[in-house]
Every structure is written in structure tokens, then in C-alpha cells.
């Protein structure tokens, strides 16, 4: 696979991406956003080798809840087990390989295959093979039950997000997430409770989301949210107020302390803020991305993770959640919660109205995707001032796929 990604791109493309002066570098060609073959390569050698966000722990809130999903074309199932832990299994029966869980279910004590009724525990263990020997309670299992349970997939939960490592060979999850964990460790994100969920697909390649980790677009795309370039840049010095940084699997947009801030006009009772567990000397980054596909934005009053899963080269599923301090569902906080959601999703909450940050961003990505049907899109440039993160991401992707520096 190493050779094939390099061969697919060509040495000239890789060299152009890695030119030392960022203004002179050129981005990945249009075909990596439009070509089915490149998505096949990503599904074979990018996503399986990383820890990829796939779901939220709140998808299976209680013991016995299960949710089937696909990742890299592989059917998996998310399960809350008897101990309350979130587990991920291959959603495939060990008898003659049939999908076991077909749709989300709640409060099951076991999971039963629809084809011949083999039964699995919430820990994946094979429990029963009815009628195998002609009796409903066949005592004799046809196979060794100890090695014929549902096949476990390496998974872990970090601040409500369920990550999987399909090939089982990545560094431990916390090691992989160390830069992001260190950035946010002073905040009690784990105690927050889910307040809103949203899910939609949009017509753009998943990589364009992660390439949006810059603030250069804010003034143009998020009119009414970020009003002026002077909110983003010190117009006397030309220096951005945001430090755009990357480390390992993490991208940060860290506001510098001296950025002038106008206090938000809060409607209704003010939500309890996200609890601080420790002091932090410098401002933490509020808008964050965990490569390859998860964004984790944290503000004073909430946590907004989003998971982006490719469905096709030009189609991405966005799974989005908003978490608030315990008690935020009380009616007295409703106006403030709505105000926060308005900012993210627009007052109508409709993607088509493009009234909030997320629909505005996703719409821009759709414009970028359409543009990638033109050869002009093979000549993508980066601003040294603003877009180091974009090049970092592109280079991270091809390094992860085997194109070493």
C-alpha cells in the first residue's frame, strides 16, 4: 500500500505539498476528493490504522442498548454491556456470517441472529445455538463457544466520543489523543450531558471538513457570527489573533490572550459553565480537531463534538452532538441553550437555510467539492499566515497512508 499511494499521487505532487515555504506549496490534487479508488485506499490504509471517531456513548445510553453502523464498509455494532461499558463488535454472526443487529435496539439482555437464532451475550459471548441438535435448548454447542463469540473491535471512549482502531495496531487511545487530552484535561467534559443531536449528509469529501481548521474563512462564511476581519487579525500588525497549531493527531485554533473580546449577549438564565478541574496558565484552544475525522469544540458553556464519516468520495455523514453542564435541560436554561444552538445550526435548524456555523461551513465544502471536477482544482495554494494547519492535515493523511517524509 505504501508504494501504491506514492505511485497514485506521484513524486512531483508529494514534493509540491512539502515545499518548505508554505506559500509555494501546492495542495493535494482534485482526484483525492472525487476518486472512488482513493476512498478505497483510505478505507484500507488510513482509517483502520488510526483511532477514528465513529459514534457517541449516548447512542447506547443504557445496558442492553445496541446500534449497528458501518465503518470502512465493515458492519459493526455498538453495545452497552452489563457492566455499563461501551463495546464495539463486528456485527457478524459466527455461524454463517449474517448481520446480527439490523437496527438500533434498547434494553436487550442478549443479541440474537435473525437467520438461525444463535444468541450472543452483551459481552459478545456465544450463549446458545437452538435446535442445533434438534432440541430448542441444544446443550451441545456446535463449536467451541469460547472462541466463537462476536469478534471484538478495539475501541475506547474519550469525552463521550467512541473511537475504534480497526487494525488493532495503533498506539493506546490515550497516547494517540495525548495532545488533545493535555489541551482539555483541566475541564470536566466527562460530566457534561447530551442536550442536542443532529445528523445530516452533505455533498463533499470528508477531508474538506478537516481542511476547514483555519480562521481565514470566518469573516466571509460566517457573516453575522464573526463580523469583521479585525475580529480575527490585529489590523495594526497584520498578525492573526489566533494561533493555529498542530501536534500529532490534534489541530488547534487557540485564541491568543490579547484578542479583544466582546462579551456574549446571553439570553435567559446563564447555564452553569463547564467545570474547571485545574487552573491553566494560557488560554486553551476552543476549536479543536482530532485527526482523522472528529472535531471537538469546547466553549465556556458546552462541548460540541462532531464525527465525519465518508459515505462516498463526494458525500459525508456528519454526526453532531451538543453537551451541556448537568441540569441544563431545566426549562429555565432553555433560552440560553437555544441561543447556543441557534449560533451553531441557525434559528430554523434547517441545513438549507444556512443560518448557523455548521451549515455555513458544510455549504462551502460542497462548493469546494463541485470545484474539484475542474482541472483548476489541481493548483491549490496555502497562505503562510493562515493555512499551515491545512497543509499539516494533508501531509498527515498521506504519511498515515505510508508516504513518509
77 binds ligand FES (CB under 6 A): no
253 binds ligand FES (CB under 6 A): no
CA 161 vs. chain centroid, Å, equals 8
Cα–Cα distance for residue pair 400/405, rounded to 1 Å: 11
Q: Which does residue 256 touch among Fe ion, ligand FES, none (CB within 5 to 8 A, set by kind)?
A: none
For ligand FES, which is the closer residue by CB, 114 or 168? 114
Least spacing, CB of residue 234 vs Fe ion, in Å: 20
| Interface region with ligand FES, contact rule CB under 6 A, candidates 92-100, 252-260, 287-295, 387-395 | 92-100
DSSP for residue 20: S
Cα–Cα distance for residue pair 175/277, rounded to 1 Å: 21
For ligand FES, which is the closer residue by CB, 113 or 298? 113
Cα–Cα distance for residue pair 107/60, rounded to 1 Å: 9
Q: Length of the chain in residues, anyone?
A: 405
- Give the interface size with ligand FES as a residue count (CB under 6 A): 9
Within 10 Å of residue 384's Cβ, how many Cβ atoms? 12
Least spacing, CB of residue 86 vs ligand FES, in Å: 24
Task: Tell me which residues in 322-351 interact with ligand FES (CB under 6 A).
Answer: none
Cis check: omega of the bond before 292, within 30 degrees of 0: yes
127 binds ligand FES (CB under 6 A): no
Do the beta carbons of residue 180 and residue 288 sit within 8 Å?
Answer: yes
Q: Judged by CB under 6 A, which of 39, 66, 113, 377 binds ligand FES?
A: 113
Q: Judged by CB under 6 A, which of 18, 31, 116, 186 binds ligand FES?
A: 116
β-pair partners for 90: 76
Q: Judged by CB under 6 A, which of 46, 67, 79, 93 binds ligand FES?
A: 93
| Interface region with ligand FES, contact rule CB under 6 A, candidates 24-32, 113-121, 177-185, 272-280 | 113-121
Q: Which does residue 361 touch among ligand FES, Fe ion, none (CB within 5 to 8 A, set by kind)?
A: Fe ion
Q: Judged by CB under 6 A, which of 6, 18, 95, 363 binds ligand FES?
A: 95
- Give the interface size with Fe ion as a residue count (CB under 5 A): 1
Residue-wise burial string across 105-125, b where 16 or more C-beta atoms lie within 10 A, e elsewhere: beeeeebbbeeeebbbbbbbe
Least spacing, CB of residue 110 vs ligand FES, in Å: 13
Task: Tell me which residues in 330-389 interact with Fe ion (CB under 5 A).
Answer: 361
For ligand FES, which is the closer residue by CB, 135 or 329? 135
Exposed, middle or buried: residue 366 (CB in 10 Å: 0-12, 13-18, 19+)? middle
For Fe ion, which is the closer residue by CB, 105 or 219? 219
In the Cβ-directed half-sphere of 90, how many Cα atoms lie within 13 Å?
Answer: 14
- The grid coordinates listed for 102 are 439490523
Q: Judged by CB under 6 A, which of 115, 168, 197, 247 binds ligand FES?
A: 115
For Fe ion, which is the closer residue by CB, 86 or 380? 380
Least spacing, CB of residue 259 vs Fe ion, in Å: 17
For ligand FES, which is the closer residue by CB, 98 or 378? 98
Do the beta carbons of residue 382 and residue 394 sit within 8 Å?
Answer: no
Q: What own/partner pairs with CB < 8 Å and gap ≥ 24 does 124-132 have?
A: 124/79, 124/87, 124/89, 124/149, 124/150, 124/151, 124/152, 125/149, 126/94, 129/95
For Fe ion, which is the closer residue by CB, 154 or 217? 217
96 binds ligand FES (CB under 6 A): yes
Contacts of 28 (CB under 8 A, 6+ apart): 9, 13, 17, 380, 394, 397, 398
151 binds ligand FES (CB under 6 A): no
List strands edge to edge, sheet with 126-128.
Answer: 110-112, 119-121, 126-128
Positions in the binding site for ligand FES (CB under 6 A): 93, 95-96, 98, 113, 115-118
Positions in the binding site for Fe ion (CB under 5 A): 361
Amino acid at each position: 500500500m505504501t508504494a501504491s499511494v506514492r505511485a497514485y499521487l506521484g513524486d512531483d505532487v508529494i514534493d509540491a505539498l512539502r515545499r518548505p515555504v508554505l506559500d509555494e506549496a501546492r495542495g493535494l490534487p482534485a482526484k483525492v476528493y472525487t476518486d472512488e479508488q482513493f476512498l478505497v485506499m483510505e478505507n484500507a490504509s488510513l482509517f483502520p490504522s488510526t483511532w477514528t471517531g465513529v459514534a457517541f456513548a449516548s447512542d447506547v445510553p443504557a445496558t442492553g442498548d445496541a446500534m449497528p453502523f458501518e465503518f470502512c464498509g465493515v458492519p459493526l455494532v455498538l453495545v452497552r454491556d452489563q457492566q455499563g461499558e461501551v463495546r464495539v463488535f463486528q456485527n457478524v454472526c459466527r455461524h454463517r456470517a449474517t448481520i446480527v443487529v439490523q437496527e438500533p435496539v434498547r434494553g436487550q439482555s442478549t443479541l440474537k441472529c435473525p437467520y438461525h437464532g444463535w444468541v450472543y451475550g452483551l459481552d459478545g459471548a456465544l450463549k446458545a445455538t437452538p435446535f442445533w441438535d434438534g432440541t430448542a435448548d441444544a446443550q451441545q454447542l456446535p463449536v467451541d463457544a469460547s472462541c466463537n463469540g462476536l469478534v471484538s473491535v478495539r475501541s475506547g471512549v474519550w469525552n463521550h466520543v467512541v473511537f475504534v482502531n480497526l487494525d488493532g495496531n495503533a498506539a493506546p487511545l490515550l497516547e494517540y489523543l495525548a495532545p488533545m487530552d493535555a489541551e482539555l484535561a483541566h475541564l470536566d467534559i466527562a460530566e457534561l450531558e447530551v442536550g442536542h443531536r443532529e445528523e445530516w449528509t452533505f455533498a463533499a469529501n470528508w477531508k474538506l471538513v478537516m481542511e476547514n481548521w483555519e480562521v481565514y474563512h470566518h469573516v466571509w462564511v460566517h457573516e453575522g457570527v464573526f463580523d469583521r476581519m479585525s475580529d480575527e487579525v490585529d489590523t495594526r500588525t497584520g498578525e492573526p489573533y489566533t494561533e493555529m497549531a498542530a501536534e500529532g493527531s490534534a489541530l488547534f485554533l487557540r485564541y491568543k490572550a490579547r484578542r479583544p473580546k466582546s462579551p456574549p449577549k446571553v439570553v435567559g438564565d446563564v447555564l452553569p459553565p463547564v467545570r474547571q478541574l485545574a487552573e491553566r496558565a494560557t488560554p486553551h484552544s476552543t476549536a479543536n480537531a482530532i485527526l482523522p475525522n472528529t472535531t471537538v469544540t469546547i466553549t465556556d458553556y458546552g462541548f460540541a463534538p462532531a464525527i465525519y464519516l465518508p459515505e462516498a468520495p463526494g458525500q459525508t455523514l456528519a454526526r453532531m452532538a451538543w453537551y451541556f453542564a448537568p441540569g441544563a435541560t431545566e426549562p429555565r436554561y432553555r433560552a440560553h441553550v437555544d441561543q447556543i444552538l441557534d449560533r451553531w445550526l441557525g434559528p430554523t435548524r434547517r441545513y438549507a437555510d444556512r443560518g448557523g456555523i455548521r451549515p455555513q461551513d458544510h455549504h462551502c465544502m460542497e462548493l469546494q467539492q463541485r470545484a474539484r471536477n475542474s482541472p483548476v482544482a489541481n493548483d491549490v495554494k496555502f497562505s503562510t499566515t493562515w493555512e499551515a494547519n491545512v497543509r499539516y492535515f494533508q501531509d498527515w493523511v498521506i504519511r498515515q497512508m505510508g508516504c513518509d517524509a
